[in-house]
Amino acid sequence: MKKRKAFEQLLQELRGLPPDKLADWERRLDLQLSVWEIRNLRGIFYRYHDDQHIGQKRRELYADEHPGVDMKAIRRARLLPVVDSLEGNTLIHPLLTPIIRVNRENDKARAVFTSFGYEGLSIHREPPMAIWSMGYIPGGHIRQNGEWRILYGEWQRTVKADREKGWVHDMQRSNCRPKLTKEEDRKYLGQYAYRKEESRKPVPAYPDENTWEEYPDEMDTAWIHRNLEDRRDDGV
Amino acid sequence: MENEVMQEQAKRVADKILRLEAYTEIQNNMGSCVLSYNYRRPEEVLSFFSSREDATLEIADEGVFRGKDIREAITYLMPSTCEPGELMDIQLASPIIEVAEDLETARAQWVCPGIGALPREGEAPQAIWNWGVIGADFIYEHGSWKIWHFHWFRLMKCDYQKGWVQDTSLENRPNIPVHPLAEESTYHNPYTPYSIRECIPMYPRPYKTWDGEDWMLKKKKE
State the nearest Cα–Cα gap between A78 and chain B, in angstroms. 15
- Is residue A232 predicted with pLDDT exceeding 80? no
Q: How far apart are CA B7 and CA B4, in angstroms?
A: 5
In tens, the pLDDT along B173-194 reads 999 999 999 999 999 999 999 9
Cβ pair B164:A7 closer than 8 A: no
Question: What is the band of A4 on the pLDDT scale with cuts at 50, 70, 90?
Answer: low
Residue B138 counted as domain residue? yes
- Is residue A36 predicted with pLDDT exceeding 80? yes
Query: How many domains does one find in chain B?
Result: 1
Which of A29, A159, A27, A42 shows the shortest CA–CA distance to A98? A42
Do B147 and B29 meet the contact criterion of CB atoms below 8 Å apart?
yes
Residue B222 counted as domain residue? no
Question: What is the band of B52 on the pLDDT scale with cuts at 50, 70, 90?
Answer: very high
Which of B46, B90, B79, B89 shows the shortest CA–CA distance to B65? B46
Residue B35 counted as domain residue? yes
Least confident of A8-22, B98-112, B148-162: A8-22
Instruction: Name the residue among A1, A11, A129 with its Cβ closest to that of B10.
Output: A11
Task: Give the domains, in start order, of chain A with CATH numbers.
Answer: 19-212 (3.10.450.50)
Which of B173, B110, A90, B41 shows the shortest CA–CA distance to B33? B41
Cβ pair A39:B166 closer than 8 A: no
Residue in chain A nearest B27 by alpha carbon: A36
Tally of CA atoms within 13 A in the half-sphere of A183 that contains its CB: 0
Name every chain A residue with its beta carbon within 8 A of the beta carbon of B95. Answer: 39-40, 43
pLDDT at position A6: 83
Which residues of chain B form beta strands (DSSP E)? 56-59, 64-66, 87-90, 93-99, 105-112, 114-120, 123-141, 144-159
Residue B152 counted as domain residue? yes
Residue B196 counted as domain residue? yes
Interface mutation target, options B48, B197, B222, chain A, most CBs of A under 10 Å = B197
- Is residue A194 predicted with pLDDT exceeding 50? yes
In tens, the pLDDT along B65-94 reads 999 999 999 999 998 888 899 999 999 999
* CATH (domain of B146): 3.10.450.50
Instruction: Name the residue among B20, B112, B156 with its Cβ closest to that of A33.
Output: B20
Proportion of chain A above pLDDT 90, given as a percent: 83
Residue-averaged pLDDT of chain A: 92
Name every chain A residue with its beta carbon within 8 A of the beta carbon of B9. Answer: 22-23, 26
B78-82 long-range contacts, Cβ below 8 Å, gap at least 24? B78/B37, B78/B40, B78/B42, B78/B45, B79/B40, B80/B40, B80/B42, B81/B40, B82/B39, B82/B40
In tens, the pLDDT along A139-174 reads 999 999 999 999 999 799 999 999 999 999 999 999
- Is residue A236 predicted with pLDDT exceeding 80? no
CA of A150: how far to CAs of A66, A107, A115, A216, in Å? Answer: 10, 12, 17, 17
- Is residue A234 predicted with pLDDT exceeding 50? no
ipTM: 0.91
Beta strand B123-141 pairing with B56-59: unpaired
State the nearest Cα–Cα gap between B113 and chain A, in angstroms. 8
pLDDT at position A2: 45
pLDDT at position B1: 65
State the nearest Cα–Cα gap between B181 and chain A, in angstroms. 32
Residue B194 counted as domain residue? yes
Beta strand A90-92 pairing with A156-162: unpaired
Proportion of chain B above pLDDT 90, given as a percent: 93
Distance from CA of residue A40 to its chain's centroid?
12
Domain region containing B156: 2-217
Least confident of A137-141, A196-200, B154-158: A196-200
Arithmetic mean of pLDDT, B18-37: 95
pLDDT at position A199: 87
Q: How far apart are CA B41 and CA A59, in angstroms?
A: 40
Q: How far apart are CA B38 and CA B49, in angstroms?
A: 16
Arithmetic mean of pLDDT, A108-137: 96
In tens, the pLDDT along B126-145 reads 999 999 999 999 999 999 99
Question: What is the band of A230 on the pLDDT scale with cuts at 50, 70, 90?
Answer: low
Distance from CA of residue B89 to its chain's centroid?
14
Do A158 and A64 meet the contact criterion of CB atoms below 8 Å apart?
no
Residue-averaged pLDDT of chain B: 95
Residue in chain B nearest A22 by alpha carbon: B10
Arithmetic mean of pLDDT, B148-167: 97
Which of A47, A32, A46, A61 shows the shortest CA–CA distance to A148? A61
State the nearest Cα–Cα gap between A235 and chain B, in angstroms. 33
